Amino acid sequence: MADIIQLLPDHVANQIAAGEVVQRPASVVKELLENAIDAGADSIKLIIKDAGKTLVQVIDNGKGMSVTDARLSFERHATSKIRNADDLFKLNTKGFRGEALASIAAIAHVELKTKQESDDVGTSIVIEGSTVASQDVVVTPTGTSISVKNLFFNIPARRNFLKSDTVELRHVIDEFHRVALAHPNISFALYNNGSESFNLPISNYRQRIVNIFGTKTNEKLVPVEEDTEVLKISGFVGKPEFSKKTRGEQYFFVNNRFIKSAYLNHAILSAFDGLLKNGTHPGYFLNLTVNPQTIDINIHPTKTEIKFDDEHTLYALLRSAVKHSLGQFNIAPVLDFERDATLDTPYSKKNETTQTPKIEVDRSFNPFQESKPSGRQTTAFKQTPNNWDSLYVGLESKGTMSQNDFSEVSFESDQSVSSLFEEKEQSETASSTYQLHNKYIISAIKSGMLVIDQHRAHQRILYEDFLQDITVKVGVSQQLLFPLELHFSAQELEIIKQVQEDLEHTGFVFSNVTDESIAIKGVPVIVPESEISIILEQLISDVQNEVPEANFSATDLLAKSMAKSLAIKTGQSLQIDEQEHIVNRLFACKEPNVSPTNRVTFVTVGVDELDKKFI
């Protein structure tokens, strides 16, 4: 039998490796930014077009590469950071496998320009699908500029799996944030389709967070500092009252490398135990410094997961440090049974000097000396009204009541009480609905009964109402007494600006939209003021993730998101008229059978099916 196993050609092997390293444009951004950091750059620019599908370009002022290094950098497993296997456990750099550039060059058009400070001219290399198209001498500044164009041009199937520009841009910005937060000592800039999205100067860690997520973030941060032999912790956690329903602002960095760890995330949640609302998540920006020999970075292709030698100790230290910070800054309540809160010095008297109270005694006071009442008081007591007889006029007639009067009173009372009971009995008899476990509405029909999910049914009702308001542009608005100002990050505000016109058609009225906040002076009639921020946060999350699918319009997405936020929740008790209103409105909808997310809203249970249960 002939041999069937053979070695893959290099270009095929590179494409297979690219499947692990490059999943989307954000993967290219991550690899190129990390290479620029490893090159010692203190200024990095990221330029993208069409969410990175057309162009991803990174320009840095690092040390650059020689002609030989520039050519060799695109070979597989070519790296300057590893010499032997032991070096894998002493890593202090980002990229180390030597697969990134080779994988990227296999599936895109790549142009590299680089120059060392000691050289007069630099090197330009153009590669198309692992094939070197040209290599020339070029005049270029010190550092490296690498452009990745037409990602997945030779693998159309992979390109078809990419999401819309909105989703891919969100992933690119997420990677940009992760790298920028880990290195506040480097200035970063992001340009999207020719416009500047971020310009982050060199700063301290707190200022870097504020520059990315907005100035309002400054008051949300609680510092966390802990230094032990095993672990050094520095960074910030968010105050409980600013927790969100999404997990957006959660960042762990281990030795300046972003990681994801459900185990360490649980340590944070346990430190916030009892301080968070149900369904909300705290924000945190924590840097963990450990001995490189106690971690293994090489367990995941994207290096976002790390294996620790002693996770239990890290868990305990992290939980304790966060809990201590929350208590130290009076975020968490402190139990002290011997402390009397009434003895605390008020903040307004904090800097004032205390004074010894003086006791004054009236030595001329004689308790046995009788005091003569004033003439005015005597006159007041002695005065007698001249028309005192009028006070008693009519008492005799009012006090005398005949038997007929009593019978009439009791007759009227009986009539009113019986009328109330009759009305109650009639309302209960007339009702054809019943609420089960504050979750389902039971309604009787000729063939049996309907079991309606109140949350999904109300979602369908609101969804069609909002869709009609946005389409017809007839949303009714109620004015707020005082404009409500909400603060968001630059990325979130950009999303709100995209859907602002559709929001106005539903009834929202915006008085001012700036680079860091929005002011709302009117909301739809059914929207309570306390729910406005929750609705907008949910809307931003849905737009970022394109829930449910990318092929739906922005109008449809907006109507779904608002209906999900405002629908009656499971567990909410409803009155009889509210139950009947939901039933009647549901079956007046165009698609009453399913919710906006294509889930069943009701089921029918026939009498025959019930009879079988009793056989």
pLDDT band at 341 (very low <50, low <70, confident <90, very high): low
Is the residue at 422 inside a domain?
A: no
CATH number of domain containing 496 = 3.30.1370.100
Q: Examine the domain organization and report whether 138 and 162 are in the same domain.
A: yes
| Same domain (yes/no): 283, 167 | no
Answer whether residue 566 is part of any domain.
yes
Question: Helix crossing, 454-472 with 576-586: angle to 10°?
Answer: 60
Is pLDDT above 80 for 240?
yes
Per-residue pLDDT at 601 exceeds 90: yes
**Looking at the domain assignment, is residue 78 inside a domain?**
yes
Q: Which residue has the higher pLDDT, 455 or 395?
A: 455
Contact predicate 144/39, CB 8 Å: yes
d(CA 332, CA 319) in angstroms, rounded, equals: 14
**Same-domain pairing of 87 and 169:** yes
Q: Quick check: 411 pLDDT over 50?
A: no
Last residue of a domain, one of 280, 303, 328: 328
Q: Please provide residue 180's backbone torsions phi and psi, each rounded to the nearest 5 degrees.
A: -70, -35
Can you give the pLDDT at residue 374?
A: 52
- Asked if the structure places residue 533 within a domain, the reply is yes
Q: What's the pLDDT tens digit per position in 391-401?
A: 566 555 555 55
| pLDDT computed for residue 526 by the predictor | 79
Torsion on CA atoms 260, 264, 266, 272, rounded to nearest 10:
-110
Last residue of a domain, one of 277, 308, 328: 328
Q: How many CA atoms lie within 13 A of 7 on its CB side?
A: 3
232 shares a domain with 191:
no
pLDDT digits (tens, 9 = 90+) for 515-568: 778 899 988 887 888 888 888 888 887 777 665 444 456 678 778 888 888 888
Res 311: pLDDT: 86
Q: pLDDT tier at 181 (50, 70, 90 boundaries)?
A: very high
Task: Reply yes or no on whether the pLDDT at 249 is more than 50.
Answer: yes
Q: Is residue 506 part of a domain?
A: yes
- Summarised one tens digit per residue, pLDDT across range 23-49 is 889 989 998 998 899 888 999 999 999
Alpha helices in 164-251 (DSSP H): 165-182, 205-213
How high is the mean pLDDT of the chain?
80
pLDDT of residue 336: 56
Tell me, yes or no, if the pTM score tops 0.85.
Answer: no
pLDDT at position 361 over 90: no
Does residue 179 sit in the same domain as residue 227? no
- Asked which of 145, 179, 200 is the last residue of a domain, the reply is 200
Higher pLDDT, 166 or 349: 166
**Is 384 contained in some domain?**
no
pLDDT at 387 over 80: no
- The yes-or-no verdict on residue 503 having pLDDT over 60 is yes
Question: What whole-number distance in Å separates Cα of residue 585 and Cα of residue 527?
Answer: 18
Say if residue 51 is in the same domain as residue 176: yes
> Based on the domain organization, do 150 and 258 belong to the same domain?
no
Structural tokens at position 63: 């040390």
Q: 515: which DSSP letter?
A: S
Same domain, 186 and 267: no
**Residue 163 shares a structural domain with residue 248:** no
**What's the CATH code of the domain at 267?**
3.30.230.10
List the domain range (segments joined by +) for residue 231. 213-328
Cα distance between residue 43 and residue 494, in whole Å: 25
Q: What is the pLDDT of residues 49-91, one digit of tens each?
A: 999 999 999 999 999 998 988 888 888 766 665 555 555 555 6
Among 92-106, 543-557, 583-597, the range with the most confident prediction by mean pLDDT is 583-597
Residue 340: predicted pLDDT: 60
Split into its structural domains, the chain has a count of: 3
Instruction: Report the DSSP beta bridge partners of residue 435.
Output: 441
CATH code where residue 179 lies: 3.30.565.10
**Cα radius of gyration (the chain):** 36
- 132 and 25, same domain (yes or no): yes
In a domain, 611, yes or no: no
Q: If you average pLDDT over residues 458-472, what whole number do you get?
A: 87
Name the DSSP letter for residue 66: -
Q: Do 160 and 242 belong together in one domain? A: no
Residues 217 and 192 in one domain: no
Chain segment 291-307, per-residue pLDDT in tens: 888 877 766 666 677 77
Region 360-388 average pLDDT: 63
In percent, how much of the chain has pLDDT > 70? 78
Domain presence at residue 475: yes
